[in-house]
């Protein structure tokens, strides 16, 4: 029975633990066994956390026995390695953080654990979240459980591969420009990037602070909604967290698409870098399916969406260059080198950071430098404002915008590592919502002709998570894609 529960959605597993059909302690042992197999097969986990998992599971069993109604009772959780879990290493995929262990839980982790989750391990990611393929991490690439010769997406690729492989029903990742949604799409999962500020950033390793948000990766929309509900809400330790009670994500989940207006992104078909045939077909199919479910579907334009990638690679790199300056081997990071202070900084940073992180620090430092600040960073901020305005205008005519999450299904390992620009274009559809601070959901819609998952994205106005999740649920129901299971699933 436990194996069946681990193959199914998190909400069913939680119900079984709540009803006393199974104990959280037994579920944790089974999930730890599966996680060990997934780690071996795909490299999704960097470390497992048997001690933490056993202690948390015992606590869940005690709380259930005393009648606490835990929404996520006993649900095994995988945590991306740029999010703190007390007592476990946090490397953010970087050598510069090798040997660092977190003193406490990130707010989002603490809240999921309070809701009944059990942390079974930390998952591989691109270094500091910089990448779209999980090939930029210091500890090796992750393989996609749908096809081990292909990437799982990034930067939350380990979290996505762990959930897709059925090691755990739920994982958390971070999304700065697409890092939850794109791996969710490439691994056949539901991924949510919440409204900026919805989930507190306390305990996340900062990449680009005006964009970073943590979000859930799950196999069903209901599971993603349950997890996001637990993670959301203000936090005194993050001054950018949204005040006031977060919206109810669950009671309207089954409302359907009736009466909602869905805008089909007009710029999607002509996107730079092109659209894979099967993705284009799935895009049209999803629009039809929403229409059949009662939504009013019409094209909508977000004219400046094509500027999102250049703007993102100025804003995000500028913020990253500033955030990463603290890793100098003195204040933070593994210390390397001998001699004077300059030599120590040089050795710590040049040996500690990988090539993509260095590229971004250089780009960001240049964009912020005295003579170029206005021409690059300043202008990018202005265009960011215009893009947000484009979205506001588009949302006068619709409640959500539909577009692909990724222009293509999972690509072969190594196929883009020599060409940063083509790698950056993997995020053409996810970066716009990030820059505008808007919520977005990726939902699986079926498989490509090669048997690889395809995901579609729904973007809404700030705070519209209930509507987006209800629409995603309507798509999930009509497509039946949640039942697709990868050949690399573990047992």
Output the CA–CA distances (angstroms, integers) from residue 265 to 157, 300, 311, in the order listed.
Answer: 26, 5, 19
Binding range to ligand GLN, per CB under 6 A, among 137-145, 174-182, 220-228, 385-393: 174-182
Stretch that binds ligand GLN, among 66-74, 169-177, 297-305, 413-421 (CB under 6 A): 169-177
Q: Which of 133, 179, 241, 321 is catalytic?
A: 179
* Binding-site member from 107, 124, 132, 336 for ligand GLN (CB under 6 A): 132
Interface with ligand GLN, residue 135, by CB under 6 A: no
Q: Using the rule CB under 6 A, is 175 a contact of ligand GLN?
A: yes
Unique residue bearing structure tokens 């510069």: 96
CB 486 within 8 A of CB 145: yes
Among 71, 76, 121, 131, indicate the residue that binds ligand GLN (CB under 6 A).
131
Which of 427, 454, 459, 460 touches ligand GLN by CB under 6 A?
Answer: 427
Contacts of 491 (CB under 8 A, 6+ apart): 3, 34, 37, 166
- Using CB under 6 A as the binding rule, whether residue 160 contacts ligand GLN is answered as no
Task: With residue 183 as reference, give the H or E element that holds it.
Answer: helix 181-187
Instruction: Write the binding mask 71 to 100 for ligand GLN: x where contact by CB under 6 A, - elsewhere.
Output: ------------------------------
Hey, how many other C-beta atoms are within 10 angstroms of the C-beta on 233?
17
Site string for ligand GLN, 307-326 (x = CB under 6 A): ---------x----------
Contacts of 295 (CB under 8 A, 6+ apart): 257, 258, 259, 260, 261, 262, 471, 474
Ranges within 184-213 binding ligand GLN (CB under 6 A): 207
With CB under 6 A, what is the number of residues at the site for ligand GLN? 14
Distance CA 483, CA 469 (A): 18
Residue 449 designated active-site: no
311 touches 383 (CB < 8 A): yes
Q: How far is the CB of 176 from ligand GLN (least distance, A)?
A: 4
Strand 190-193 versus strand 118-123 pairing type: unpaired
Nearest to 304 by CA among 148, 428, 120, 193: 428
Nearer Cβ to ligand GLN (90/132): 132
Cα 247 versus chain centre, distance: 20
Q: Indicate which residue of 39, 44, 49, 80 is catalytic.
A: 80
Nearest alpha-carbon partner for 267 in 320, 234, 309, 314 = 309
Cis amide prior to 155 (ω within 30 degrees): yes
Q: Which stretch binds ligand GLN (CB under 6 A): 126-134, 229-237, 386-394, 448-456?
A: 126-134
DSSP three-state, residue 230: helix
Which of 151, 456 has the CB closer to ligand GLN? 151
Q: Minimum Å distance from CB 285 to ligand GLN? A: 26
Q: Which stretch binds ligand GLN (CB under 6 A): 104-112, 176-184, 243-251, 342-350?
A: 176-184
Find how far residue 323's CA is from the centre of its chain: 20
301 tagged catalytic: no
Beta carbon of residue 486, minimum distance to ligand GLN (angstroms, whole number): 22
* 39 belongs to the catalytic site: no
Contact 8, 15 (CB under 8 A): no
Catalytically active residues are: 80, 155, 179
Q: Which residues of this protein are in contact with ligand GLN, per CB under 6 A?
A: 129-132, 155, 174-179, 207, 316, 427
């Amino acid at each position: 029975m436990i194996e069946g529960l681990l193959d199914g959605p998190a909400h069913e597993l939680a119900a079984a633990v709540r009803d006393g059909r199974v104990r959280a302690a037994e579920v944790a042992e089974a999930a730890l066994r599966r996680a060990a197999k997934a780690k071996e097969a795909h490299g999704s986990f960097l470390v497992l956390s048997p001690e933490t998992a056993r202690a948390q599971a015992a606590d869940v069993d005690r709380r259930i026995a005393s009648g606490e109604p835990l929404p996520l009772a006993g649900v095994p959780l995988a945590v991306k390695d740029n999010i703190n879990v007390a007592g476990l290493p946090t490397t953010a995929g970087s050598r510069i953080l090798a040997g660092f262990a977190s003193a406490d839980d990130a707010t989002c982790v603490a809240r999921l654990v309070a809701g009944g989750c059990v942390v079974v391990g930390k998952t591989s990611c691109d270094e500091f979240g910089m990448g779209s393929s999980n090939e930029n991490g210091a500890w090796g690439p992750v393989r996609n459980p749908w096809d081990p010769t292909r990437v799982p997406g990034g930067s939350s690729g380990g979290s996505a591969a762990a959930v897709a492989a059925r090691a755990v029903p739920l994982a958390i990742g971070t999304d700065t420009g697409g890092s939850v949604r794109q791996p969710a799409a490439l691994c056949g999962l539901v991924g949510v990037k919440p409204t900026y500020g919805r989930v507190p950033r306390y305990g996340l390793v900062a990449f680009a602070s005006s964009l970073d948000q943590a979000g859930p990766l799950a196999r069903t929309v209901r599971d993603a909604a349950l997890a996001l509900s637990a993670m959301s809400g203000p936090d005194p330790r993050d001054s950018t967290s949204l005040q006031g009670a977060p919206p109810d994500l669950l009671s309207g989940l089954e409302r359907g698409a009736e009466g909602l207006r869905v805008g089909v992104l007009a710029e999607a078909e002509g996107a730079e870098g092109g659209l894979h045939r099967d993705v284009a077909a799935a895009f049209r199919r999803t629009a039809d399916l929403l229409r059949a479910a009662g939504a009013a579907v019409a094209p909508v334009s977000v004219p400046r969406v094509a500027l999102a990638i250049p703007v993102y690679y100025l804003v995000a790199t500028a913020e990253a260059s500033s955030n990463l300056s603290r890793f100098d081997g003195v204040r933070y990071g593994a210390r390397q080198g001998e001699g004077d202070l300059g030599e120590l900084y040089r050795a710590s940073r040049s040996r500690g950071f990988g090539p993509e992180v260095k590229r971004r620090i250089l780009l960001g430092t240049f964009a912020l430098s005295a003579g170029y600040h206005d021409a690059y960073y300043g202008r990018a901020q202005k265009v960011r404002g215009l893009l947000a305005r484009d979205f506001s205008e588009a949302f006068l005519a619709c409640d959500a915008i539909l577009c692909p999450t990724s222009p293509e299904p999972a690509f072969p390992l190594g196929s883009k590592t020599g060409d940063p620009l083509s790698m950056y274009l993997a995020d053409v559809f996810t970066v716009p919502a990030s820059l505008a601070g808007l919520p977005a959901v990726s939902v699986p819609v079926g498989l490509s002709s090669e048997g690889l998952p395809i995901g579609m994205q729904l973007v809404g106005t700030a705070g519209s998570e209930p509507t987006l999740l209800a629409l995603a649920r309507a798509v999930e129901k009509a497509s039946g894609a949640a039942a697709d299971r990868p050949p690399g699933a573990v047992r």
